[in-house]
Structure 1
Amino acid sequence: MISLGERPLTGRDRGLTTALVGLLEDEPPPPFAVHRFRPLPTFSYDSGDLHTGVPGERDFGPHVDQTNYSVVVAEKVVVKWLSPPALLPHPAPEMLAHLVEAGFNDTAPPYAALTAVLDGRDHLLALVTGYLPGARDGWEWCVDEAASPDRAGATAFATPLGRLAADLHLALATLPPPPGGTGPTLTTRPAERAAGALAEALELTGGDDGEWLSTRSATLRRDLAPLDVPTTGPRIRIHGDLHVGQILRWEGGYAVIDFDGNPTVADADPYQPAARDVAQLTTSLEHVAQVAIKRRSTPPAEAAAWAAAARAALLSAYRARLAERGRPDLLDDRLIRPFEVEQECRELIYAARHLPRWRYAPMGVLRTWYPEENNP
């Protein structure tokens, strides 16, 4: 049924994904199991749509950057095959089940997870979610906004985005940690993790960028300093990889996707301050501005102003939503900038280890934050 580490959709396997969707209503034979979140949509056809064979399936094409491999079936569902299958426990099934229970609907509708026992251990093989018509991820639609001639009016998206992030955190805040697991408050300091990210970024970033970064190391450490103070605010189950690429704009508005956690950070605690997600989302707006500069010839000063305005609007809407729901305590504003700085260090690490051409984005952000005249 599945070849470990291979794409399930090949010339040999075409139709496998559609067949899987058709079988999800029944209980599969061992070693497979289906965990259902919501009833699947109907695949019935009107008389004018009768045809032979199976409903059509397609992938998203090579232009879509994805760690795993997704197949669209009948323009109604998306089957994301994990390649290779992921060892359980995996964050996505638990989080999707909880979001359904909590009534959070600003995501692709979660339908089912397919698991199997492989070599004596449980693995996640595939996730089945709804297809969102006209969906584009933030590395497309948000870059369009940053590159718009009307950049002053191209930040309207930030308000619904801030509300969406707040609603997500309000829903995830009701997901209790496992028995004997992470407690509800932060008692250990994340300062060591941030300092380690800065040290690794300094070590891996070479050339003129590395020299520039080294001259700002003291300033960067200063901005990480708030993490040295023990924080007693709430820890919640966070998304863990919340950036604009995980925000789809579709015919029905905006939707957050991909609850697999951050593939570039090993052993990250799933329960952290909400500011961790918020900081990654705000820094991704800064990255969008850098993409617009590089790929759309947007003037740097205008791109920076756009990013600052979008960031401010997003944070304002996020705080307002938390206050409206009686949970302003979920966001500790003191943690946002240090987490943002740590995130840029992690972007540099990612660039050095996996995608060297990406280095321009975090370096562009840091140079915007720490201009020459402000260097001590």
Structure 2
Amino acid sequence: MTTSLQALLAGWISGQRWFAGKGRAIDELTVISDIELTDDDPGMRHLVLAVRQGENVDHYQLLVGLRAELPDRLRHVEIGPVEFAGRTAVAYDGLHDTALTRLLLRAMSGGEDFGGLRFRGDAGLRTDLRSLVVTAEQSNTSLVFGDIYILKLFRRLNAGLNPELEIVSALAERGSPHVARPYGHIELEGTTCAILQEFLAGASDGWSLATTSVRDFYASPEGLGAADVGGDFAAEAERLGAATAEVHQELAAAFPTGELDRDDLVLLATGMHKRLEHALSEVAEMAPYAEGIMRVFDALAMLGRAETVQRVHGDYHLGQVMRTTDRWVVLDFEGEPGQPLAERRALSSPLRDVAGMLRSFEYAARHLLVPEAGAAEPAAGSDQALEEARAAEWAAHNRAAFMNGYATGGTDPRDHAVLLRALELDKAVYEVLYEARNRPSWLRIPLGSLEEYRQP
């Protein structure tokens, strides 16, 4: 491709929702890999861009479509006119063109190689399906093919095997019912570019189910408990806990495990203290809770027993699980996308995932109390104390159900209360800092769940 496309991309990429460097100037954009997949009209090229912003360099992948004339249905993803190989074409985001995306299925089904770009997949893949871009994602782009497959393309690339492909493949080989079956993938010189998996048609995500239960509870007459309302979520929370424990057992069987000794726990607690100190320096509202939280971190440093570590999900919450007609399915094993790959693949306590889900129940219970979250205003005559009491009741009810379900797997999280509470509070500190920076009106959510740590 010519430098004219490179110049176009420098202006275009900063406006994409998956671009991680928003708000910072792009100092340099370089096309470091350019592989032609088809030279027809439409044509398609796979590009990897190196984007430098200050001292930071990130790598992004694009599937660029090329057409002599761009139809109106693709105008919204136009990059611009370019010249190459003696002809002029209009470049655009090729993932929105089903005429091109079918080529990806055919290449995976056929196990084709294009230079260093390798397509691998089941030989029996259907290759005649139309694709639709999922618009809700922030950091990646997913395509749904018919109601059978979903292809997740990682926009920002990290060198090496992506944890999601690694874990889902391992668990699928073990026959786990709690992962979406993998059908294929794309890789570039050992780096995972995309994963094709089973599309869970008709499934509902855990966040939607939980928040529907919260709405039912808030709309119920005063005096009814969370367990008395028709939309009680506790049975599903318990099934989710059991499914989570099964996934952790399968991960422990499929990958190496280890232990955190006392020195490791001291280091872990030290890191938690540092993150709390950083949050205190930015968020004044955190001050009344600091002493109580510090005591929990101190207790972790004094813990006199080893704790097991293994591969975990790493970014576990209600939005990462789907309920089908017969089971819970866990999605997105890639961990925190912004973290280095080595960190995302590192061993950690399975209680880290438990803590993440417990925090998610707190968010589900309280997010409707924030007016701009899209919820109805509180009922006339209600006050914040009553709202918080009902939120705390729903969260406690479903947290207990989740841990009861998890305990059926043989380990009760409450038997490791010191580590679990420290991990949960460390997550809450992160949430406070995130909300203060990005959604100040949501600061009420994490702070509202910390009342027991407030000092007079």
Question: TM-score if structure 2 supplies the norm length?
Answer: 0.68
When residues 85 and 17 of structure 1 are mapped into structure 2, their CA distance, relative to the original with a 3 A threshold, is farther
Whether the 8 Å contact between 1:138 and 1:248 is mirrored in structure 2 is: yes
When residues 363 and 57 of structure 1 are mapped into structure 2, their CA distance, relative to the original with a 3 A threshold, is same
Aligned to 2:173: 101
Larger CA Rg, structure 1 vs 2: 2
1: CA distance, partners of 2:196 / 2:130? 16
Aligned to 1:49: none
Counterpart check, 1:202 vs 2:280: yes
Find the partner of 1:123 among 184, 191, 198.
191
2: CA distance, partners of 1:219 / 1:69? 41
Find the partner of 2:186 among 89, 99, 114.
114
Find the partner of 1:217 among 271, 278, 290.
290
Percent sequence identity is 25
Find the partner of 1:319 among 389, 400, 407.
407
Aligned to 2:255: 176
When residues 185 and 72 of structure 1 are mapped into structure 2, their CA distance, relative to the original with a 3 A threshold, is same
Whether the 8 Å contact between 1:238 and 1:272 is mirrored in structure 2 is: yes
Aligned to 2:319: 245
Whether the 8 Å contact between 1:246 and 1:256 is mirrored in structure 2 is: yes
Find the partner of 1:255 among 329, 351, 365.
329
Whether the 8 Å contact between 1:286 and 1:365 is mirrored in structure 2 is: yes
Aligned to 2:101: 17
Q: CA offset at residue 259 of structure 1?
A: 0.7
Q: CA offset at residue 161 of structure 1?
A: 0.7
When residues 362 and 8 of structure 1 are mapped into structure 2, their CA distance, relative to the original with a 3 A threshold, is farther
Q: Secondary structure at the match of 2:253?
A: coil
2: CA distance, partners of 1:57 / 1:269? 31
Whether the 8 Å contact between 2:46 and 2:64 is mirrored in structure 1 is: no
Counterpart check, 1:283 vs 2:359: yes
2: CA distance, partners of 1:220 / 1:285? 20
2: CA distance, partners of 1:89 / 1:60? 24
What RMSD, in angstroms, separates the aligned Cα atoms of the two structures? Answer: 2.6
Q: CA offset at residue 301 of structure 1?
A: 1.9
2: CA distance, partners of 1:114 / 1:238? 23
Q: CA offset at residue 273 of structure 1?
A: 1.4
When residues 300 and 196 of structure 1 are mapped into structure 2, their CA distance, relative to the original with a 3 A threshold, is same
Q: CA offset at residue 318 of structure 1?
A: 0.5
Whether the 8 Å contact between 1:273 and 1:331 is mirrored in structure 2 is: no
Higher RCO (CA 8 Å, separation ≥ 6 residues): 1
Q: CA offset at residue 142 of structure 1?
A: 1.5
Whether the 8 Å contact between 1:274 and 1:330 is mirrored in structure 2 is: no
Q: CA offset at residue 357 of structure 1?
A: 5.3
Find the partner of 1:31 among 116, 119, 128.
116
Q: Secondary structure at the match of 2:254?
A: coil
1: CA distance, partners of 2:404 / 2:281? 36
When residues 280 and 93 of structure 1 are mapped into structure 2, their CA distance, relative to the original with a 3 A threshold, is same
When residues 43 and 268 of structure 1 are mapped into structure 2, their CA distance, relative to the original with a 3 A threshold, is closer
Counterpart check, 1:43 vs 2:43: no
2: CA distance, partners of 1:7 / 1:233? 42
* CA-to-aligned-CA distance 1:23-80 (integer Å, 9 cap, x gap): 21222223122455xx476538xxxxxxxxx42211223xx24321111012210000
The residue type equivalent to 2:405 in the other structure is A
Query: Between Structure 1 and Structure 2, which shows a larger proportion of strand residues?
Result: 2
Aligned to 1:143: 211
1: CA distance, partners of 2:432 / 2:338? 12
In structure 2, runs of 5+ residues without a counterpart are 1-44, 49-59, 66-73, 75-91, 221-225, 379-386
Find the partner of 1:192 among 255, 270, 276.
270
When residues 309 and 91 of structure 1 are mapped into structure 2, their CA distance, relative to the original with a 3 A threshold, is same
* CA-to-aligned-CA distance 1:106-136 (integer Å, 9 cap, x gap): 122122221013xxxx322111111001233
The residue type equivalent to 1:70 in the other structure is S
Mean Cα displacement is larger for which, 330-339 or 187-196?
330-339
Mean Cα displacement is larger for which, 299-308 or 150-159?
150-159
When residues 330 and 26 of structure 1 are mapped into structure 2, their CA distance, relative to the original with a 3 A threshold, is farther
Find the partner of 1:364 among 448, 451, 454.
448
Whether the 8 Å contact between 2:321 and 2:328 is mirrored in structure 1 is: yes
Whether the 8 Å contact between 1:76 and 1:131 is mirrored in structure 2 is: yes
1: CA distance, partners of 2:420 / 2:287? 23
Counterpart check, 1:337 vs 2:421: yes
When residues 305 and 80 of structure 1 are mapped into structure 2, their CA distance, relative to the original with a 3 A threshold, is same
The residue type equivalent to 1:143 in the other structure is T
Q: Secondary structure at the match of 1:75?
A: coil
Whether the 8 Å contact between 2:110 and 2:120 is mirrored in structure 1 is: no
2: CA distance, partners of 1:268 / 1:215? 33
The residue type equivalent to 1:103 in the other structure is G
The residue type equivalent to 1:203 in the other structure is S
In structure 1, runs of 5+ residues without a counterpart are 45-53, 178-182
Q: CA offset at residue 8 of structure 1?
A: 4.4
When residues 360 and 112 of structure 1 are mapped into structure 2, their CA distance, relative to the original with a 3 A threshold, is farther
Q: CA offset at residue 330 of structure 1?
A: 11
Whether the 8 Å contact between 1:135 and 1:251 is mirrored in structure 2 is: yes
Whether the 8 Å contact between 2:144 and 2:199 is mirrored in structure 1 is: yes
